[in-house]
Amino acid sequence: MRVNKLLHTRMRVSDMDQTITFYTDILGLEVLERKTSPRGSHLAFLAVPNSEELIELCSFPASGPVTVQEDLVHLAFEVDNLDDTIRALNDKQIKITDGPTRTSSGSRFIFIDAPDGYEIELIERPPGTAIV
């Protein structure tokens, strides 16, 4: 058996509207669909520019509060210019939690926190660099 491709990554969130606002207003993602599952979970599917994979947000208050363990999981997004990104984040009063840091390949990155404490890595890669 072999899978064909990654379709989406699901993240449970406490406040669907707050989380959607973060991903759309701060990172520029697009909501493709919102619905309620047969179990009663509130779902939202977000499109990432230049990517086929989606992010699925899930809110299911009956399962209790969302607790994200530090350094367990993060999403990484490529940006064109890290300095411009930092200025835009500062303008929106989004705190940079780590960085900027430069890797041995010449990539630069920072981290910010999404609602519920999910880490978001924003990476500027030199042309032709496939991995951070």
What residues does 77 pair with on adjacent strands? 122
3-class SS at 84? helix
What residues does 123 pair with on adjacent strands? 78, 109
| Pairing label, strands 30-36, 42-47 | antiparallel
> Domain locations in the chain?
7-60, 70-132
| Structural contact between residues 53 and 11, judged by C-beta atoms closer than 8 angstroms | no
Domains 7-60 and 70-132 share a fold: yes
pLDDT tens for residues 23-72?
999 999 999 999 999 988 999 999 999 999 999 999 998 888 888 887 77
Q: Where are the beta strands (DSSP E) in the chain?
A: 8-12, 30-36, 42-47, 54-59, 74-78, 96-102, 108-113, 119-124
Please state whether the predicted TM-score (pTM) of the whole model is above 0.85. Answer: yes
Say which of 30, 78, 121, 124 is annotated catalytic: 121
56 is catalytic: no
Domain at 7-60: CATH code: 3.10.180.10
In this structure, which topology does domain 70-132 adopt according to CATH? 2,3-Dihydroxybiphenyl 1,2-Dioxygenase; domain 1 (3.10.180)
3-class SS at 113? strand
